[in-house]
Structure 1
């Protein structure tokens, strides 16, 4: 299965960016380490990017990298629709 990947901040706009995955278009973005079926262990490099090894694996498997701005639009729209449905 081919999905989409994006580097999003873990804690708001100023947080460290980590790899997020979207398995299908209507699913929310999830941190790579919450997707055990796709994630691989991180490289043991001090200060290395969280999810870099998973990114390399999924890129080779045909996954698409999406710009952060586009993914953030989806996140904001998804959050708004949840709030409206409560």
Structure 2
């Protein structure tokens, strides 16, 4: 099954990165918060990465991490927009 993760900047450039997921080839990358069946609550650490707890869970479950710079090679180069909630 196609299950990939990627850290993508919230804005263009090298800003804060958020975990994005892709569950099927050709599908856009979507923020982890749009997948309640996979995501877990973020750690309550000031300045912590959004999605780190989910990343750890999915890595153990066999998901593949795609380097940020290569995310467009592994599916759609478009990213689904969604607000990442502060938790």
Kindly indicate which of the two structures has a greater share of residues assigned to helix.
1
Task: Name the count of aligned residue pairs.
Answer: 78
> Matches of residues 9-28 of structure 1 in structure 2 within 5 Å?
9-28=9-28
Report the CA distance between 1:19 and its aligned residue: 0.3
Question: Cα RMSD between the aligned structures?
Answer: 1.9
Structure 2 length-normalised TM: 0.79
Q: Highest CA radius of gyration, 1 or 2?
A: 1
Q: Which runs of 5+ in 2 are unaligned?
A: 80-87
Q: Which runs of 5+ in 1 are unaligned?
A: 80-86
Q: 1:53 to 1:34 in 2, by over 3 A?
A: same
> Matches of residues 44-63 of structure 1 in structure 2 within 5 Å?
44-63=44-63
Q: Which runs of 4+ in 1 moved over 2 A?
A: 72-76
Question: Could you say which structure has the greater relative contact order, defined with CA pairs below 8 angstroms and 6 or more residues apart?
Answer: 2
Q: Could you give the per-residue CA deviations for residues 9-64 of structure 1, whole angstroms, max 9, x where no partner exists? A: 11222431000000111211001111111110000011100000000000000000
